[in-house]
Amino acid sequence: MNCHHVFPDLRKLEEKYPKELVVIGVHSAKFTNEKETENIKKAVMRHELKHPVVNDSDLAIWKAYGVSAWPSLVLIDPDGNISATKSGEGAFDWADPKIAALIKAFDKRLNRDVIAFRLDEEKGSVLRFPSKVAATKDRVVVADTNHNRIVVTDPSGRVEAVIGSTQGFKDGAFTEAQFHRPHGVLISGDLVYIADTENHRLRVADLKAKTVATIAGTGAQGRSKGGAGMKTMLNSPWDLALVGDTLYIAMAGNHAIWTMDVKSGTIGPFSGDGRERLRDGTHASASFNQPSGLAVIGEKLYVADSEISGVREVDLDPTGSVRTVIGTGLFEFGDQDGTGEAVRCQHVLGVAALNGLLVFTDSYNHKIKSVDPKTRETKTLFGDRTPGNADGKQPRFHEPAGIAIAGERIYIADTNNHAIRVIDLKTLETSTLKIDLK
């Protein structure tokens, strides 16, 4: 997530210095799945990067430059010497004056021929890297993330509404509204709540009025303490859950869970101290790790805590606490079914409730798994760890992210396959939702 926050700054620098600056991304992977070049290509397309990216799978460049944190930046002058280094976010404000000074110092020696890079992209899909999905017995709502829109269909795929036009930020009619890589979606009657992730805002779409409105977030990314929704800075809201009038928000950029009273508009931190680490305890002392998915069973909120590849249990009672269901640490991951601390997953992104169990997307293992929150027993349900695109009794997925359950169907946002997959709980057959978008 911290690396994601650097991308907008890099784009600003590339646009400001198109003839003087070349950005080279170095991908030094944490997860095993992230070391595969094909998966890195998908990520480059998903984040719409315009610069080359090196697959530093054995951490050779990481070690050579003495890097110790994600993200890290190194500024190199035309002689190949390191001019400055930085770890953490805030790339633009740090780099801009330094680049300007280097341009002045090396002005007569610079080669200002523009170097263009291009990665051939996949074409022809109705959806583009969908990240989240919500469903009822009558509706399916898809965060069509890289098309910067929300698609609403019936369970057969017939389109009811397309919400959003182009990348940006704008309220108003469905045909005019703009989003920036939305993720979490939630259906409440004729309202669709939307985590507009890269706009750092919460939006709501009214399916009857066919309008979009902003309910929280200033658009500036930040770590504010909360307050009135329209005056509060949010930080990469990723998923949503609604209990009564309380909207629970997986604030991935803050490594915390926030709440919002949808009637009063008051918003603020609920659980998590904002530090990225695995720590149970009271709401104030517990820590999360890029929370990316939410589900509710009774008086408990369950969190897909992606960077520990696990699932956490959070009391809805404000005086309650946080416990770990599965997951053992930031650098403990793999693919192992079992119980409790013996379980290993790899980057859990979505979670949904089914008859007292939790069904979740083990994204980097390309699997759908279940865990009993009481016994902590975890099982693989679908997928064989091989990335692919296959329906039927033995389906394959490619980095599935969002998950929703309605009636006898499980809906999966199969991100790298640009598709919504549907698992029939009666037949255990998987199919692909044919979205009729003309």
pLDDT beyond 90 at 36: yes
Judged on CB neighbours under 10 Å (0-12, 13-18, 19+), 107 is exposed
- Assigned CATH topology for domain 2-109: Glutaredoxin (3.40.30)
Report the chain's terminal Cα–Cα distance, integer Å. Answer: 35
Higher pLDDT, 111 or 312: 312
**Range(s) within the chain of domains with CATH label 2.120.10.30:** 132-432
pLDDT tens-digit readout, 46-87:
998 989 999 999 999 999 999 999 999 999 999 999 999 999
Q: Which of 25, 21, 58, 23 is nearest to 40 (CA)?
A: 25
* Rounded-to-5 percentages of helix, strand, coil across the chain: 15, 40, 40
Q: Are 13 and 95 in contact (CB under 8 A)?
A: yes
Contacts of 187 (CB under 8 A, 6+ apart): 134, 135, 136, 139, 141
- Of 51-65, 210-224, 272-286, the poorest mean pLDDT is in 210-224
| Model pLDDT, residue 222 | 72
- Of 3-7, 17-21, 407-411, the poorest mean pLDDT is in 3-7
Give the model's confidence band at 220: pLDDT under 50 very low, under 70 low, under 90 confident, else very high: confident
Name the token pair of 410: 């499980």
Average pLDDT over residues 275-303: 98
| Model pLDDT, residue 118 | 79
Sign, Cα dihedral of 13, 18, 20, 26: positive
Give the model's confidence band at 2: pLDDT under 50 very low, under 70 low, under 90 confident, else very high: confident
Higher pLDDT, 89 or 147: 147
Q: Are 164 and 148 in contact (CB under 8 A)?
A: yes
- Of 31-45, 240-254, 299-313, 327-341, the poorest mean pLDDT is in 31-45
- Residue 74's SS3 state is strand
- Residue 228's SS3 state is strand
Average pLDDT over residues 108-126: 82
| Model pLDDT, residue 438 | 66
pTM of the model: 0.91
Scan for tokens 């699932």, then name that residue. Answer: 311
Give the model's confidence band at 343: pLDDT under 50 very low, under 70 low, under 90 confident, else very high: very high
| Model pLDDT, residue 124 | 65
Scan for tokens 């300007």, then name that residue. Answer: 100
CA separation for the pair 397, 384 (Å, rounded): 9
pLDDT beyond 90 at 123: no
Give the model's confidence band at 138: pLDDT under 50 very low, under 70 low, under 90 confident, else very high: very high
Q: What φ, ψ does residue 420 adopt, rounded to 5°? A: -105, 120
Query: How crowded is residue 271: how many other Cβ atoms within 10 Å of its Cβ?
Result: 27
| Model pLDDT, residue 115 | 84
Average pLDDT over residues 138-158: 97
- Residue 270's SS3 state is strand
Average pLDDT over residues 201-209: 98
CA separation for the pair 54, 66 (Å, rounded): 17
Q: What percent of the chain has pLDDT above 70?
A: 100
319: left (phi over 0), alpha (psi -120 to 50) or beta: alpha
- Assigned CATH topology for domain 132-432: Neuraminidase (2.120.10)
Q: What percent of the chain has pLDDT above 90?
A: 89
